[in-house]
Amino acid sequence: MPLGIIIILIAALAKLTLGVDVVTQIANTTAGGTNVHLEDYIESYRRQFTANLDDYNNRIDALHKLFERNLETVEIQKHLLLDRIRQTDEGLFPLELLNVQNKKCVSKHRNEIPSSAGTQDDISKCLETAKYQLRDIGTEPRQLLKALNNYYSNNFEKSISSCLAEANTPFTCVEGEILKANEFTINHNLKFNEEMDNSEHYARAHIKAALNCSFVIHFQAAMSIAETKLNIDLCMKSEDNYCMCKEGYTCNNLQRVPLSDLNSENIAIANPLYGTSNTCLMLTASSEGEDNLEDDAIRPQAAPID
């Protein structure tokens, strides 16, 4: 039930209980000489108090909506990133159909693309953390709103009922209580504004944290996608960092290269193909110890002397 209706019902109950005619005209007149009905005078302030409560509610709701709109931005960015990952993955299928080399290159680097499920989970965690914090935003302002509503509904209305019970000077008593209510409202409004500022800073901090969390995921995904495309392209151009033999071809010309020949300070090594008819060469590194063991294995052994 709206607060204004509650206040009116309380006033009506006061009339019935106290038997006071609240439509009695005030003996005093305003500066313009117009008589004022006491009931209208009180009701005008009740409407003002109700407007104060509505303003508090609207400001708190606006803060929550601001927070939610920014989280919707993160949600939209998440869907855009998922679409980009999907399009990148779908773009690899035509490459695989071109030739065997492309298929091997795509197969090698496909898993470097961020998965849609993993990306969605990561961004969802950013959103869940921010939404969890949303529960605490506006807690203090709502407590102040509740306290102000309680003052209007209880303290003020009880005081007004007591004033109306006075037969001699109800207007003077009512005017004093209204002044007290206005003073309470002003002091309360200062506290409310301060708590709203604190809540807004709190909200913006968590909005920024959610956006930063999402940005890191977007940046890492974009870098992974770009790097994957580059690696696949280099692989298809045979500029990859590994050697791929043609399908169906092998090389039987296996030669071992001592580790000492692979010294990084040497500008070159001996060419094992020089002076031979071989057209391919497969090198394998071996330690000096391994070479000695192999030499010992093939070297004829002297028969033991009895």
Q: Which of 77-86, 202-211, 278-287 has the lowest mean pLDDT?
A: 278-287
**Domain presence at residue 217:** yes
Domain count, the chain: 1
> Which structural domain, as residue segments, surrounds residue 174?
36-237
Query: Does residue 164 or residue 258 have the better pLDDT?
Result: 164
**Domain presence at residue 167:** yes
**Domain presence at residue 112:** yes
**Domain presence at residue 306:** no
pLDDT at 58 over 90: yes
Query: Does residue 251 or residue 194 have the better pLDDT?
Result: 194
Predicted pLDDT of residue 285: 57
**Domain presence at residue 15:** no
Residues 60-107 pLDDT 10s: 999 888 888 888 888 888 999 999 999 988 888 888 788 888 888 888
**Domain presence at residue 143:** yes
What's the chain look like in SS3? CCHHHHHHHHHHHHHHHHCCCCCCECCCCCCCCCCCEHHHHHHHHHHHHHHHHHHHHHHHHHHHHHHHHHHHHHHHHHHHHHHHHHHHHHHHHHHHCCCHHHHHHHHHHHHHCCCHHHHHHHHHHHHHHHHHHHCCCCHHHHHHHHHHHHHHHHHHHHHHHHHHCCCCCHHHHHHHHHHHHHHHHHHHHHHHHHHHHHHHHHHHHHHHHHHHHHHHHHHHHHHHHHHHHHHHHHHHCCCCCCCCCCCCCCCCCEEEEEHHHHCCCCCCCCCCCCCCCCCCCEEEEECHHHHHHHHHHHCCCCCCCC
**Domain presence at residue 266:** no
Going by pLDDT thresholds of 50, 70 and 90, the confidence category of residue 189 is very high
Q: Which residue has the tokens 């151009």?
A: 237
Predicted pLDDT of residue 67: 85
CATH number, position 60: 1.20.1270
Going by pLDDT thresholds of 50, 70 and 90, the confidence category of residue 284 is low
**Domain presence at residue 290:** no
